Chains A and B, each alone.
Chain A
Amino acid sequence: DTGVSQDPRHKITKRGQNVTFRCDPISEHNRLYWYRQTLGQGPEFLTYFQNEAQLEKSRLLSDRFSAERPKGSFSTLEIQRTEQGDSAMYLCASSLSVEQPQHFGDGTRLSIL
């Protein structure tokens, strides 16, 4: 059990650029979640995959955001035409089932200049 890993840990980019984050879940976990956390708040749900199928998307996930999990293993989250308001910590989590705890990665901190 190597835990959930996220890459990169930090990303600084200029407004208007595209960014892509990667998440590698715990290997036997078929459920994968993306959350966003801003300063002083709890994480907010963005989207959820069960295996390769994207089953839920939050209204927070505007059309500039897209997520994939092509082979049911790792996932990517892409933000196009970044805006100042996208600055946040992006957290990935995985779990075996809905009743099991979600285990989080260390997150990717995005800063938009």
Chain B
Amino acid sequence: AQKITQTQPGMFVQEKEAVTLDCTYDTSDPSYGLFWYKQPSSGEMIFLIYQGSYDQQNATEGRYSLNFQKARKSANLVISASQLGDSAMYFCAMVPYNSGNTPLVFGKGTRLSVIA
């Protein structure tokens, strides 16, 4: 079975500072995808960034980067230059590619609050 662990229920960061949101995962599948989603208070789930298990380089998308450490089974999200609009719930999720299961498995999320 697959499992995502997000150990930080809540985080605070000063505007314009960088912040790292932790994510560890567990799977026996050698091929998988890791995703981060943002969920503002309005409820929609917004895709942020993707990392494939065989990707050699860490993924980056604008101010978002994924610090992928395969041996440690961690996929931390780094947000640079935080903005007030970054305040939201952030979910780490994964899909194993070879197990026959295709839905996303989510962690419990981290609530990020950006302080002016």
List residues of A whose CB falls within 8 A of some B CB: 31, 33, 35, 40-45, 48, 55-56, 58, 89, 91, 93, 98-99, 101-107, 109
Give the number of A-B contacts (CB < 8 Å).
62
Within 8 A of A (CB), among B31-52: 33, 35, 37, 42-47, 50, 52
Within 8 A of A (CB), among B20-35: 33, 35
The size of the chain B interface, using a CB distance under 8 A, is: 25
Q: In the bound complex, how far is the Cα of B103 from the Cα of A43, in angstroms?
A: 11
User: Given A42-B93, A99-B33, are A107 and B44 neighbors across the interface (CB < 8 Å)?
Assistant: yes
Closest chain B residue, CB of each to CB of A89? B43
With an 8 A cutoff between CB atoms, is B79 at the interface?
no
Residues of B within 8 A of A107 (CB): 43-45
Closest chain A residue, CB of each to CB of B44? A106
Contact B44 A102 (CB under 8 A): no
With an 8 A cutoff between CB atoms, is B102 at the interface?
yes
Closest chain A residue, CB of each to CB of B108? A42
